[in-house]
Amino acid sequence: MTTPDPAERSVPVADLGERLSALRLSESSALAAMRMSLTRHGQLTPVRAFDDGGQLEVFDGFKRLRATRALGREELRVLALPIGAVEATLHMRELHAGRGLTALEEGWIVRALHREHQMSQGAIAARLSCVTARTDWTRLHRTG
């Protein structure tokens, strides 16, 4: 048996924010599968979150959080990492490297890093370990 990480603890679902969920797609079939898994097996892995001014914000485990709420359960195991919003946003991509994010989700992450966290194209590319030609990011992704 493994011992839980010292930062892992049970947290009331009402205390968990999901502001970063806007960077992920949400499919009803995936949520239904997660509800079924939680019912059959319980929570297998903790939700990952960071402290954002006293509020725990989830950055990995949105389906687990929503399925837990839908099942009427009151708590989830959470691994609270000592990182900020920028690191959490970057981790969202890293955590899904094997399973992959959609191109749309990748774009949302890059847009959030640029617009919300004022990161330059070069800084984003470096942090995401991208090897790209220098391109004017704002020209390519201009919105009204």
How does pLDDT run across 65-78, given as a tens digit for each residue?
A: 999 999 999 999 99
Q: Is the pLDDT of residue 25 over 80?
A: no
**Mean pLDDT, to the nearest integer, of 6-28?**
87
Domain ranges of the chain: 8-140
H or E stretch at 75? strand 75-81
What's residue 96's pLDDT? 65
What's residue 139's pLDDT? 43
H or E stretch at 60? strand 55-60
Centre a 10 Å sphere on the Cβ of residue 73 and count the other Cβ atoms it contains: 14
What's residue 132's pLDDT? 41
Instruction: Please answer whether residues 132 and 125 qualify as being in contact, where contact means their C-beta atoms are separated by less than 8 angstroms.
Output: yes
Instruction: Assign 6 a pLDDT band (cuts: 50, 70, 90).
Output: low
Q: What is the DSSP letter of 43?
A: -
Entry pTM = 0.74
Q: Is the pLDDT of residue 4 over 70?
A: no
| Between residues 138 and 60, the one the model is more confident about | 60
Query: Which CATH architecture describes the domain 8-140?
Result: Alpha-Beta Complex (3.90)
% pLDDT > 70, the chain: 81
Question: Which residue type is seen at 144?
Answer: G
Pairing verdict, β 47-52 and 55-60: antiparallel
